[in-house]
Structure 1
Amino acid sequence: MNEFLNKLKMLYKGFDYNKYWSSLESLYDPSISKFKRLLCRNYVSRVNRRFCASIAYNPNSRDFNFKSWPILGHGLNGIVIAAGAIIGKDCYISHQVTIGRSRGGAPTLGDNVYIGPGAKIFGDITIGNNVRIGANCVVFQDIPDNATVVLQKPRIIIKDANYEYYTANPDEAKRS
C-alpha cells in the first residue's frame, strides 16, 4: 500500500527539477548502462512533451551542453533549446524562449545571462557574460559582455479609412 501511495504522489507532484536535469545529464555519461540511458531518454521525452518544451540533446556527442543547470523561472513551459547550443553557468531562462540553430550553427551563451519571456536567439552567435535579453527580443548577432538587449519602440502603421481587414467570415465584421 505504501508503494502505491508513493507512485500516486509522483503522478500529482509538479516538475522535478533535479530529476529532469540529472536524467538529461546522464544521457552524456559514457559509464551509464544502455538500459538506464533508455529510461532517462524516455523520461526526458515525456517531460518535454508534457511541458511543450524541447531541450534537445545530441546522442552522438559526449559533451553536456550546460556548464551548470539553468534557472527556469517558470519551469519548462515552451522552452526550446537546439542540440549544439552551449549554455553558460547561472543562466536564467524564462518561459517561451527559443535558442535555435540557423545556418548550421547554434548559439553559445556566456555565464550569468538573463533571457526574458518569449525571447528568440538564433544562429552561430556568441552571447557574452552578464548579458540581459529583454522580453520578445529576437537576437541574431553577437552580443558583447555586460550588455542589455531590448526591443525598440513599436511602430504605428495607419491605414486608409477604406482599408478592408481580412476576416474569416466577412459578414460578422461589417463596418458601420
Structure 2
Amino acid sequence: MNPFSFQHKLGRIILSWIQHYNHEKYWKRRAVVTNPQDKTNLLLKLYYLYYIKKTDAYHNCSFGTNLNAGAFFGTSPHLPHGPNGIIVGHDVCIGENIIIYQQVTISQGGVVIGHNVILGAGAKILPNVCIGNNVKVGANCVVVEDIPDNATVVLPKPRIILKQGQQCG
C-alpha cells in the first residue's frame, strides 16, 4: 500500500479544498473567459468568471480577468506560494515559464514581460515597462524603466530626499 501523497489525484483534490485554489482548474477556466475567440456558451463563461473572481477574492488577488480585456499569459505562471496578494492589471502581456512570488503587483497598461522571468516577492511593475527574457526581479523592487534580456534587478539604495527640519521647495 502506497502512503498518502499530495502528488496523487486524490491528494491534489484534498489540497485544493484546503487551499481554496486548484491551479489547473483555475487557469483552464481563465483561458476560456479571457479568450474572445472561444465559442463557449456565454452563461458558462460568466459562471467561470464568477468562480475566478471568488477564488481571487479569497486570496486577495486579481489576474486581470475580464471578458475580452484581461491580462494575457503565454502559459499559466508558476506560483510557489499560491495566488496570495498577486495583482495583475488588464491589458498586460506576460510570456511563458514565469514565476511570480507573493504580493507582486503588475500595473495595467502597456506592460510586456518576456519568457522565463522571475518576479520576487513584493515586486512592483509600473505601467509602460518592457521586461526582457530571462530576467530576475528581486524582492520589493519597483521597476520603472525597461529591463534588457538576461538582467538581474535589485532594489536600488534608498536616498534621503528631505531631512527633518528642512523646507520643501
TM-score band w.r.t. shorter chain? 0.7 to 0.9
CA RMSD of aligned residues (A): 2.4
Moved over 2 A (4+): 9-14, 152-157
Partner of 1:12: 17
Please give the secondary structure, in 1, of the residue aligned with 2:52.
helix
Q: List gaps (5 residues or longer) in structure 1.
A: 1-8, 164-176
One-letter amino acid of the counterpart of residue 138, structure 1:
V
Query: 1:152, CA displacement in angstroms?
Result: 2.4
Describe the shift of the 1:54–1:132 C-alpha distance in structure 2 as closer, same or farther (beyond 3 A): same
Please give the secondary structure, in 1, of the residue aligned with 2:80.
strand
Structure 2 CA distance for aligned equivalents of residues 67 and 57 of structure 1: 15
**Is the 2:63–2:71 contact (alpha carbons within 8 Å) kept by the matching residues of 1?**
no
Larger Rg: 1
Structure 2 CA distance for aligned equivalents of residues 96 and 23 of structure 1: 23
TM-score normalized with structure 2 length: 0.79
Please give the secondary structure, in 2, of the residue aligned with 1:75.
coil
Aligned positions of 1:1-176 closer than 5 A? 12-14=17-19, 15-27=21-33, 28=35, 29-61=37-69, 65-101=72-108, 105-155=109-159
Q: List gaps (5 residues or longer) in structure 2.
A: 1-13
When structure 1 is superposed on structure 2, of 63-72 and 46-55 the one drifting more is 63-72
Structure 1 CA distance for aligned equivalents of residues 157 and 24 of structure 2: 39
TM-score normalized with structure 1 length: 0.76
Structure 1 CA distance for aligned equivalents of residues 46 and 72 of structure 2: 19
Structure 2 CA distance for aligned equivalents of residues 16 and 90 of structure 1: 18
Query: 1:11, CA displacement in angstroms?
Result: 8.2
Percent of pairs with identical residues: 40
Total equivalences in the alignment: 149
One-letter amino acid of the counterpart of residue 12, structure 1:
W
